[in-house]
Structure 1
């Protein structure tokens, strides 16, 4: 069994509740904790595989509520940047990656707390840029959500559409990242087994979180999102060890 397994088991369970309710947040909670025990490449593999498991609980509802054409454009843009991010992750020291994780999470929180808003719909050029940046950051850190979170929560999209599009995009991006890691020979079967074990509490608590979501409570939704990001910033700082 890997070092810190039970901490990871507990963390992924808590992250599942948040993911089910908000549509994102798993990586923001899991990656900083897992980074204390495992190298960055192993963390990305675990968060990607467990993310795929949770998708089976969230995808059916999101598929009917999301803008699939918009999400497809985001994913197309992410395809060429994911391998660049994975290459950067392998080249950088793990402590530096952890600082980048904290910086990305902190920047996400700052952007949202300052009330950044965009009036109108995001055009195709903007979607391509968002998707490309999300692929780069996701491949390098395992944080697949922050870029898309900033883009959508800063817009005038409703809570239900934000949640559904985020779920769809993160599911697709997880597949892209895992395929790149698999073809690069970076996926050990021992990690696949650990991911399978972690998927048990994750799947269960994701369903619980989904049952708590109500689009009428948009203010609560945004507050939950801010709380998730703040937690990531605090726990992800390498100064804690």
Structure 2
């Protein structure tokens, strides 16, 4: 896809993913594990359309994306110290698990710790300026996976797949996807503003990137 870069890696096999699916289960609560499985399937579905040669790695990133989500704020801060993560002020507690999850994935699952996978985990809650298509697939899959019940998540999912079904060219599919990512960023920022919560600067930068650099208008 034009404008995106990613690293070529050896794709995990089906057996690799089956083993990973079992290995990550202890890292999750029952509800969170179900979410991870749902993100996996969503990422694979989008991957077949956008990055058909990367679906194995996308599945791995999805299965690993929330492996530190269950820990409280103090534990997240401890992980940040352990992994040498430098935090920007002000700290948004809701996004720490993405940063610590990337560190935990590198430590505990080195066989899957390719740059694309780790970055997709690291930025799955915030996005970032220059987000790759690989990262964006995980970001959006986390937002629209079928177990999400918020009306905006459901509406965006339905709208995206409706447009993808009607798209005749790769450029049209790319535009539909980019617009969906921008919409998810807009919705996230609106939600955080309504809560009067800290908005991570990387989320703002990701939105600006999609507005100014991608084919979203």
Which TM-score applies when normalising by structure 1? Answer: 0.29
Higher RCO, Cα 8 Å, sep 6+: 1
Identify, as 1 or 2, the structure richer in helix. Answer: 1
Which TM-score applies when normalising by structure 2? Answer: 0.32
